[in-house]
Amino acid sequence: MDQSLKSPPLSALDDAFHAMIEASRNAPPPPLAARLDSLKRLRAMLTDNEKRLEQAISADFGHRCAVETTIAETLFLQAEIRHTLKVLSRWMAPRRIATALQFWPARNRLLPQPLGVVGIIAPWNYPLQLTLAPAIGAISAGNRVMIKPSELTPQFSALLKELIAARFDANEFTVTGIEDGIAQAFAALPFDHLVFTGSTRVGRIVAEAAGRNLTPVTLELGGKSPTIVDASANLDEAAERIAYAKLLNAGQTCIAPDYVFVPEQRRDEFAGKVHGHMLRMFGTNPANKDYTAIISDRHYARLEGLARDAVARGAKLLHTTSPEDPAWKSLRKFPPTVVVGAMPEMAIMQEEIFGPLLPIVTYRDAGEVIRYINAHDRPLALYWFGRDEAARDAVLARTVSGGVTINDCLLHFAQMNQPMGGVGASGIGHYHGEWGFDSFSKLKPVFYRSPFNRMKDLYPPYGASIARIEKLLRFLS
């Protein structure tokens, strides 16, 4: 498109990107000291503005529990930065790679190298953590970073843009494209790597746009993460942990337990226990400051529709009040709800819920559960509760998912030494810790030939000795 025909936001986006690309191509890779300095500036930005960021996120949600923002966003990022500062020099060092015997005394090395410019399209549900966690990996790998935040968090996005601009050069780290309708143009830019966190539907659009430039992508998508309560499980303990994980951020978590498999004969007992824990944790008052609001009226209406469809198809709801109760609806607080008797044909079992609705599905044997999971898209997370190690290992061996937590939920995501990433419809690629550093680096193989290597013996003209050399190479191969 001719530059003069572009709207001002698109023109500014284009200008910012090309300036960053030019800077990345003309400057040497940043040394360790520069990367550590960038990470420390980012840490200081979080520390100095923690309250402002918390308030902006809460304003965008209508209400966001401050403790949830602290634990799931701020402290998580602080821990990741602290970990990266400690080990970055090791990550950056050339890696010794074994050299085949026939090439001795040559040597192989793997050199981590910045890709250049990394684009991040961030979601709204954990706007701080899911924006800056991939940025930490990209910065540690020596890249420049351009962020496109969500349109659903305008106050947070504007604040983040202000705070990053105050501490970083625009060609180093910037927030852009906070206007509506910019996401598609952002995804179409020829980044050296593009990160997207969001729905599977939008992930396909982003991947298609990136594919036109052959831009490598990391897609952190969602899906329906199953939770299995084995017959050997402590039912009350499982119910409490599942209730907490489901209602964190009012269920607006990509790795939340989406639905629960429970042994047929224990369905009602489990339903009562998990509902009781929901009530104990969050009570019956919609003004409870511990309970987070749904992000928008449209998302609230979507959840209402899922609940109505489930009831119309024969499910029973356990909740303190209807989501249409004016006291709850006016605050966009969706009442914690257990859906007893969920069936595959219900809409709630066909799309990611992303809210505080917990369907319970019954089963008679573990094979039935495994077949159901394997007949659907591979989930971003899977949870298993119980003491039967053989049953646990069968599920681990026969299902494929992005990550797993045993006897709890969510906690695999917080492990800095483990990768975070989906598989198939739930995502592509990984980040966190060294996995993020590697994802945003070109691990360049370099072969250093020794002056004592006899490869010259293979050059033509081929004489009588070539047969002996071939025999030796076959032996060594």
* DSSP letter string, 344-386: TTSGGGTS---SSEEEEEEESSHHHHHHHHHTSPPPSEEEEE-
Give first-to-last CA distance, the chain, whole Å.
54
The three-class DSSP label of residue 225 is coil
Residue 331 CA to chain centroid, in angstroms?
28
Total Cβ atoms within 10 A of residue 187: 24
H-assigned helices in 50-153: 50-61, 66-69, 75-92, 129-140
CA dist., res. 183 & res. 60, Å (int): 19
CA distances from residue 385 to 69, 244, 313, 327, 364 in whole angstroms, order as listed: 27, 15, 29, 36, 16
Instruction: Please provide residue 278's backbone torsions phi and psi, each rounded to the nearest 5 degrees.
Output: -60, -45
| β-sheet bridge partners, residue 193 | 118
Token code pair at residue 42: 């980012």
Of 250, 253, 264, the C-alpha closest to 293 is 250
Token code pair at residue 424: 């198939």
DSSP-derived pairing of the beta strands 193-197 and 357-363: unpaired
Of 68, 220, 240, 352, which is the active-site residue?
Answer: 220
CA dist., res. 312 & res. 377, Å (int): 26
Residue 354 CA to chain centroid, in angstroms?
15
The answer to whether 220 is a known catalytic residue is yes
CA distances from residue 392 to 204, 255, 388, 448, 471 in whole angstroms, order as listed: 33, 20, 6, 47, 50
CA dist., res. 31 & res. 213, Å (int): 29
The answer to whether 169 touches 34, Cβ cutoff 8 Å, is no
DSSP-derived pairing of the beta strands 427-428 and 193-197: unpaired
Query: What is the chain's length?
Result: 477
Instruction: Please provide residue 119's backbone torsions phi and psi, each rounded to the nearest 5 degrees.
Output: -100, 140
CA dist., res. 70 & res. 167, Å (int): 22
For residue 76, what are the contacts with CB-CB under 8 A and spacing of at least 6? 129, 133, 414
List the catalytic residues. 220
